[in-house]
Structure 1
Amino acid sequence: MVQHSEVRAEHRPFRLPPAAPARVPHTVVMLHGFTSGPHSVRAWAEGLAAAGSEVAVPLLPGHGTHWRDLADTPAPEIRAAVRRTVDAELARGLPVVVAGLSLGGALALDAAAHRPVAGVLLVNPALRFASPLAPAAPLLRHVVPTVASIANDVADPEADELAYERTPVAGVAAVGAIQRAARRGLGRVTAPVTVFRSARDAVVPAASHRTLLRGLRRAPVQVVPLPRSRHVATMDLDRELLVERSRTAVAGAVQGLLR
């Protein structure tokens, strides 16, 4: 892929060391959402690092620059990049938890279906589209290159996701392919899954949540409501609750490996 623009400073990938020793040293691989970047999950990452997690936040291919880069990025490239990141962390010999927001949630599930992760954290994972036109994106991309931004579905008036100002329709087609792969793999996920679900979400429909719960047949699942938040809950009014319950879920997942 030829990149059209430099990565924005706010969306550069980052790694946070644990601020305190954990009972079981581990890494959390945290994945951001569609058209956004690491900035949107930084508070979540910092909250986990403060409790003893090492947190790696990659920049997904096609993101953090210009929407044209995302339009040129196929689904297999994005999926492969996530697996490489997870594989690199597993190679260190420590337990790995995968975490993701929206598209990042679908990618975390896709990784968990094919890699021996210790746990999964999901914030409003995108397994289905809200727009009835989105499934037609593979055809529409030849007629309509971009649509309006999907960014900043948040209740907090001070939050800014810093996502692309336009949404490339080719990118939507890639998301559809990632969603299908994640749905196919749900039955293979065995690690404990914690799902954070916002009370209002204009991006991911309730059908996505139902698909997730039906598909996770072999994994223990806990659903944590976020009553004051919208889609980008990692930057929203329930972020303290999100961090607190994520810390508990990560600790339980990695300590469960000792039993």
Structure 2
Amino acid sequence: MPVLPGAEPYRHEGGEVGVLLCHGFTGSPQSLRPWAEHLAERGLTVSLPLLPGHGTRWQDMQLTGWQDWYAEVDRELRELIARCSTVFVFGLSMGGALTLRLAARHGDAVAGIVLVNPANKLHGAGAHALPVARHFIRSRPGIASDIAKPGVQEVGYDRVPLRAAYSLRNLLRLVDGELPQVTQPLLLLHSPQDHTVPPVDSARILSRVSSTEVKEILLEQSYHVATLDHDAERIFEESHAFVGRFAPDIGKKGSSAGG
């Protein structure tokens, strides 16, 4: 199945500092592409993978689960660790949950993490019904393009496959239990007006991680997909400054660096 235009993975060979970016549930690399390019233009090595089952058609997600999505970002992280002297992980929404799990499991190999509207729990009656409903209902209306900025669209599915949603529910429960293992410096940016992930999820994450270096920023002008919204430039600039604080090699080129 061909990848949707704009949903392709993105990689850039830069210097000794690497960043892995993790996109959200039913979304694609398109939602993080401007962020990735901003970092690449400043000399960083960047990896923005397409998660399995994403970026094609929603039916393809029925064949995947959180183990597949996590395995993809884990593989990409290991490649960055082998390539770079310092590595950070950034994530949006479910990508934030994947980021937290990578941080919990890889420890000091991850120098810091940046989360944008990270998901911690599936809310509402529908989430409680998923264990049964997934056997009888294939999908429900999609959650893409929660963006305040006029004329901006996210490349994502218009349907949510319930089997995959049930797997996401299991992932979020697992990650919530691992939050105390997260010790890295943390930058968390979230939107008070988010119609997909409520602010309570960010509050829960901040209350449970063990990080001592923590900065929280409110994105007052944006909805859920803030990386494509009015506050996008602020996210890009704050995250680059965050990397500069904790990566002494940010200005150095590696021997294998390309353009």
Q: In structure 1, how many angstroms separate the alpha carbons of the residues matched to 2:212 and 2:167?
A: 27
Which residue of 2 is the match for residue 180 of structure 1?
173
Which residue of 1 is the match for residue 60 of structure 2?
69
Which residue of 1 is the match for residue 2 of structure 2?
6
Post-superposition offset of 1:181: 2.0
Of the two structures, which has the highest relative contact order with CA contacts closer than 8 Å and spacing of 6 or more? 2
Which residue of 2 is the match for residue 59 of structure 1?
50
Q: In structure 2, how many angstroms separate the alpha carbons of the residues matched to 1:129 and 1:255?
A: 38
Structure 2 counterpart SS, 1:120: strand
Which residue of 2 is the match for residue 26 of structure 1?
17
Structure 2 counterpart SS, 1:222: strand
Structure 2 counterpart SS, 1:129: coil
Q: In structure 1, how many angstroms separate the alpha carbons of the residues matched to 2:122 and 2:225?
A: 16
| Residues paired across the two proteins, number | 248
TM-score (norm 2): 0.91
Q: Which runs of 5+ in 2 are unaligned?
A: 251-259
| Equivalent residue for 1:253, pick from 226, 231, 246 | 246
Q: Which runs of 5+ in 1 are unaligned?
A: none
Q: In structure 2, how many angstroms separate the alpha carbons of the residues matched to 1:147 and 1:95?
A: 41
Q: In structure 2, how many angstroms separate the alpha carbons of the residues matched to 1:70 and 1:123?
A: 23
Which residue of 1 is the match for residue 255 of structure 2?
none
1:89 aligns with 2:85: no
Letter of the aligned partner of 2:129 in structure 1?
A
Q: In structure 2, how many angstroms separate the alpha carbons of the residues matched to 1:206 and 1:226?
A: 11
Structure 1 residues 256 and 94, CA gap change in structure 2 (3 angstroms): closer
Asked whether the equivalents of residues 18 and 84 of structure 2 are also in contact (C-alpha less than 8 Å), the reply is no
Structure 1 residues 219 and 78, CA gap change in structure 2 (3 angstroms): farther
Asked whether the equivalents of residues 124 and 231 of structure 1 are also in contact (C-alpha less than 8 Å), the reply is yes
Q: In structure 2, how many angstroms separate the alpha carbons of the residues matched to 1:253 and 1:178?
A: 29
Structure 1 segments (4+ residues) deviating >3 Å: none
Post-superposition offset of 1:87: 1.0
Amino-acid identity (%): 37
Q: In structure 1, how many angstroms separate the alpha carbons of the residues matched to 2:200 and 2:125?
A: 12
TM-score (norm 1): 0.91
Is the deviation greater in 215-224 or in 109-118? 215-224
**Cα RMSD over matched residues?**
1.6
Q: In structure 2, how many angstroms separate the alpha carbons of the residues matched to 1:228 and 1:17?
A: 33
Q: In structure 2, how many angstroms separate the alpha carbons of the residues matched to 1:135 and 1:72?
A: 22
Q: In structure 2, how many angstroms separate the alpha carbons of the residues matched to 1:195 and 1:233?
A: 12
| Equivalent residue for 2:160, pick from 162, 167, 178 | 167
| Equivalent residue for 1:48, pick from 26, 39, 42 | 39
